[in-house]
Amino acid sequence: MDLQIHSATDRAAPAKYRKVLTPWAVQGNLNPPIIERGSGSFFFDNHGKRYLDLTSGYVAVSLGHGHPKVVEAIQRQAEKLCWTASSYFNEVRADYAEALSRISPWPEEGARAHFASGGAEANDDMVKIARLVTRRPKILSAYRSYHGSTIGGSALTGVDRWRDPFPNIPGIVRFFAPYPYRSPFHAETAAQETARALDHVERILLHEGAANVAAIMLEPMTGSSGLVVYPPGYLEGLRTICDRHGILLAFDEVMTGFGRVGKAFASIRFGVAPDLLSFAKGASSSYTPLGGVLVRERLARFFDAELFDVGHTHAGHVLAVAGGLAALQVYEEEGLFERAIEIEAWLREGLGALQAKHAGVVGDVRGAGALFGLELISDPETRAPLVGWHHPGGSGPMKRFYATLLERRVHAYGRYNIVLVAPPLTIGREELAFGFDALDHALATLVPRSHRQP
Ligand SMILES: Cc1ncc(COP(=O)(O)O)c(C=O)c1O
């Protein structure tokens, strides 16, 4: 990701702030605001300036900041027990695993949960679980994807792979998934895109040997690598291919889970159940570092007689799962999974209006639920990306764009020419309108090719 925030505050921060190596950023010129506290859809810097969190942090703080019920639950748990070895049973862990099974895409069969500290770790573990169960080495992973920043996560990630130092791990084979706005299959209709994308997967399996493939892994809708909602029939087609070849279907629901797209999981919204899925981010609304893998019951049973050879010191960290359990209770009590559908209507309207106004630079508006994005272009005729897929978001026009947003007290992020808009599920319509206004000003800083001086 390129998350550099260059918009300088008035004063340079004291030297101690540079003792922290800021992720995904060249360190030298950083001078972002110093964030002290958060409340609802906003966070505040050390001068009391208020910023609207238009992307729920990194599409994670889905309850907004500081929800009192989750904060209290964490405080209560901290007084009792923060951590115990994963080898012991613990009631909070058990309650959370049971709740996850209930909301999982396998309502009758149920699921078992493995816990980790975040999304990348969960994805690494999901690969391990798939390999342990199938005893097969290969994993198919999509080019346009983001799966995290561990060695495993980077290797699974389809873009930026050349950027990490030697990220590859053996056995990962990449494929192209549908991308209707820029079809890699030269398709002219959604049906063609689906059919050709599925045929492409079949061909890869033919050459790689389907019997060597443990899992096909993908985000059921892509997040930071493009907000691509797959055309009808694609996920169903992958399900059929997996079933035919004894391959597991593994969904990365780190970004799409916990109501982000209007249901507990995107698998439910899109009507295709995988065999296992990873989660993180919204699970605890990022109040505690929490991720994990849900494994459908009939697969998890494998480990009743075999070693579950996966684990971490923080697997099922009691404070972390207490945050998850409390967050889930709030999502359900406040009907927030369903609320994402209401927000979807506001996003379609507001972002649609921005696209109409800035047609020279906003090529596409797409998404589902409260997970939307803008694809920025420099030329509506050719759809040339505003910045290329090797162009850090922290420089050039995107630097100006994000700096303008921050000057107008709005936080958002994205990658290359993709800008995410994924507010907390608790956001109000007026708060969102404030975000649209800032986006309007930021888009005005981008000059379409037709308006540039020769
Ligand atoms: C789809 C997806 N998978 C995995 C990850 C990695 O999660 P984490 O940053 O918690 O390791 C992310 C983070 O943005 C993500 O969007």
Residues of the chain with CATH 3.40.640.10: 68-333
- Identify which of 332, 442, 433 has the alpha carbon closest to the alpha carbon of residue 41: 433
Query: What is the 3-state secondary structure of the chain?
Result: CCCCCCCCCCCCCCHHHHHCCCCCCCCCCCCCCCEEEEEECEEEECCCCEEEECCHHHHCCCCCECCHHHHHHHHHHHHHCCCCCCCCCCHHHHHHHHHHHHHCCCCCCCEEEEEECCHHHHHHHHHHHHHHHHCCCEEEEECCCCCCCCHHHHHHCCCCCCCCCCCCCCCEEEECCCCHHHCCCCCCCHHHHHHHHHHHHHHHHHHHCHHHEEEEEECCECCCCCCCECCCCHHHHHHHHHHHHCCEEEEECCCCCCCCCCCCCHHHHHCCCCCEEEECHHHHCCCCCCEEEEEEHHHHHHHHCCCCCCCCCCCCCHHHHHHHHHHHHHHHHCCHHHHHHHHHHHHHHHHHHHHHHCCCCEEEEEEECCEEEEEEEEECCCCEECCCCCCCCCCHHHHHHHHHHHHCCEECCEECCEEEECCCCCCCHHHHHHHHHHHHHHHHCCCCHHHCCC
Least confident of 67-71, 152-156, 160-164, 415-419: 160-164
Percent of the chain with pLDDT over 70: 93
Q: Is the pLDDT at 2 greater than 60, yes or no?
A: no
Of 17-31, 86-100, 131-145, 335-349, least confident by mean pLDDT is: 17-31
The ligand 1 atom nearest the CA atom of 120: 11
Structure tokens at 209: 């040997």
- Ligand 1 neighbourhood includes 392 CB (under 6 angstroms): no
- 119 Cβ below 6 A of ligand 1: yes
Q: Is residue 222 very low, low, confident or very high in pLDDT (cuts 50, 70, 90)?
A: very high
Reported confidence tier of residue 167, pLDDT bands at 50, 70, 90? low
Tens of pLDDT, residues 6-20: 454 556 889 999 999
Cα of 35 from ligand 1 centre, angstroms? 22
58 lines ligand 1 (CB under 6 A): yes
Residues 6+ apart with CB under 8 A from 47: 9
Confidence (pLDDT) at 24: 87
Ligand 1 atom at minimal distance to the Cα of residue 58: 14
For residues 187 and 437, give the distance between their C-alpha atoms in angstroms, rounded to a whole number.
36
Q: Please, what is the end-to-end C-alpha distance for the chain in angstroms?
A: 33
Cα–ligand 1 centroid distance for 412 (angstroms):
16
Q: Ligand 1, from 252, 254, 277, 293: best to mutate by most atoms within 8 Å of Cβ? A: 254
- pLDDT category, 417, cuts 50, 70, 90? very high
Ranges in the chain annotated CATH 3.90.1150.10: 15-66+335-451
Mean pLDDT of the chain: 94
Q: Is 146 in the pocket of ligand 1 (CB under 6 A)?
A: yes
Q: How far is residue 402's CA from residue 411's CA, in Å, rounded to a whole number? A: 8
Ligand 1 centroid to Cα of residue 427, in Å, is: 22
Angle, CA 216 vertex, CA 215 and CA 221 arms, to 5°: 140
Ligand 1 center from residue 390 Cα (angstroms): 20
> How far does residue 350's CA lie from ligand 1's centre (Å)?
27
CATH number of the domain at 68-333, out of 3.90.650.10, 1.10.3720.10, 1.10.1740.10, 3.40.640.10? Answer: 3.40.640.10
Nearest atom within ligand 1 for CA of residue 222: 1
Sorting pLDDT into bands at 50, 70 and 90, what band is 396? confident
Mean per-residue pLDDT, 83-93: 98
Cβ burial 346-372 (10 Å sphere, 16+ → b, else e) = bbeebbeebbeebebbbbbbbbbbbbb
Structure tokens at 234: 């694609």
Predicted TM-score (pTM) of this structure: 0.96
Take residue 41 and report the two structure tokens written for it.
């859809």
Give me the percent of the chain exceeding a pLDDT of 90: 87
pLDDT for residue 356 is more than 60: yes
In Å, how far from its chain's centre is CA 107? 24
User: CB of 131 closer than 6 A to ligand 1?
Assistant: no
Q: What's the gap in Å between 281 CA and the centre of ligand 1?
A: 8
Q: How far apart are CA 147 and CA 224, in angstroms?
A: 10
1 pLDDT band (50/70/90 cuts)? Answer: very low
Instruction: Please say if the pLDDT value at position 323 is more than 80.
Output: yes
The residue with greater pLDDT, 158 or 362, is 362
296, two tokens = 């459908």
Looking at the domain 15-66+335-451, which fold is it?
Aspartate Aminotransferase, domain 1 (3.90.1150)
Between residues 394 and 376, the one the model is more confident about: 376
- Taking CA atoms only, the protein residue closest to ligand 1 atom 3 is 147
Query: Looking at the predicted structure, is the pLDDT value of residue 346 above 90?
Result: yes
With b for 16 or more beta-carbon neighbours within 10 A and e for fewer, the 301-317 pattern comes to: eebeeeeeebeeebbbb
Asked if residue 280 has its Cβ within 6 Å of ligand 1, the reply is yes
| Res 160: pLDDT | 74
Ligand 1 centre from 452 Cα, in Å?
Answer: 37
Residue 449 reports pLDDT greater than 90: no
pLDDT given at position 4: 47
Q: Is the CB of 274 under 6 A from ligand 1?
A: no
35 beta partners: 45
230-253: average pLDDT = 98
CA distance linking residue 232 with residue 101, whole number of Å:
27
Sign for the CA dihedral angle at 139, 143, 144, 150 comes to positive
pLDDT category at 5 given cuts 50, 70, 90 is low
Choose the weakest-confidence range: 17-31, 130-144, 366-380, 422-436. 17-31
Residue predicted with more confidence, 50 or 166: 50
- Rounded to the nearest whole angstrom, what is the distance from the C-alpha of residue 11 to the centroid of ligand 1? 32
In terms of Cβ atoms closer than 10 Å to its own Cβ (0-12, 13-18, 19+), residue 176 is middle
Pocket flag, ligand 1, residue 424 (CB < 6 Å): no
CB of 254 closer than 6 angstroms to any ligand 1 atom: yes
Do strands 50-53 and 42-45 pair parallel, antiparallel, or not at all (unpaired)? antiparallel
Q: Provide the pLDDT confidence category of residue 158 given band limits of 50, 70 and 90.
A: confident
**How confident is the model at residue 395, as a pLDDT?**
62
* Mutation test residue for ligand 1: of 146, 222, 258, 279, the one with most atoms within 8 Å of CB: 146
CA distances from 275 to 148, 245, 263 (A): 20, 14, 18
Cα 381 to ligand 1 centroid, rounded to whole Å: 33
